[in-house]
Amino acid sequence: MSGDDTDILARVPANLLELVRSGSVTFRGGLHIRGACRDPQWHSLRAAWEGTQAFHELYPAVLPSDVPFGEDCMGDQFLLREGVVFRLAAETGALEEVASSVEEFLADVEADAVETLQMHPLLQFEAEGGRLHPGQLLSAMPPFCMAESGEGVSLRAISANERRSFLASLAKQLEDVPDGGTVTFELSPPEKGRRTTK
């Protein structure tokens, strides 16, 4: 699965090399580190960095030089930019600095994975009998960026590629919606129906 894309490793910053050489899925899906592979696409650093669905193609805040080395259970992305680790909130496209280095990020994960990786939805999903498999992310309805999510969300495991496509589409549609604005969702099976949020 990993290690067959040696060309991409030549472009990876030195402090990420060992981490992404083969990649990993840890904390029961709470943290996915991409690998130097061409397939599967959900695990490929190359696909996330320079493929047709590369994050810099999907989100205006992401630069082509940002290294999208990992993601959490919901599909928020961890990017390395000039040595600093940022979290891309995939529902909205907002960037937030989370650590001044890869080493600090990994130390924070080791010290408190639940808070650093925002694993609360995964813990809820597991408490309800769910389990994430490699290549899957959690989908939440309503999305966490909506006020209604404060009343609770419905979680399900879906393919990572499907989740990433949904998140990028959602962020694009929310670009010009002011805080407190109204959004209407048209959901297709298996989540039939309409949901209006404020």
> SS3 of 140, please?
strand
Are 52 and 162 in contact, with CB atoms under 8 Å apart?
Answer: no
Measured CA to CA, the distance from residue 90 to residue 79 in angstroms comes to 12
Q: Report the predicted TM-score, pTM, of the whole model to 2 decimal places.
A: 0.86
pLDDT score for 151: 78
pLDDT score for 198: 31
Model confidence pLDDT, tens digit, residues 26-56: 999 999 999 999 999 999 999 999 999 999 9
Beta partners for residue 137, in sequence order: 158
Token pair in block for residue 163: 């989740």
Are 35 and 49 in contact, with CB atoms under 8 Å apart?
Answer: no
Average pLDDT over residues 142-148: 78
Are 40 and 1 in contact, with CB atoms under 8 Å apart?
Answer: yes
Measured CA to CA, the distance from residue 107 to residue 127 in angstroms comes to 27
CA torsion, points 163, 165, 171, 176, in degrees to nearest 10?
-140
Measured CA to CA, the distance from residue 144 to residue 69 in angstroms comes to 23
For residue 3, what is the DSSP state?
S
Model confidence pLDDT, tens digit, residues 51-110: 999 999 999 999 999 999 999 999 999 999 999 999 999 999 999 999 999 999 999 999
Measured CA to CA, the distance from residue 9 to residue 20 in angstroms comes to 8
The one-letter amino acid at 196: T
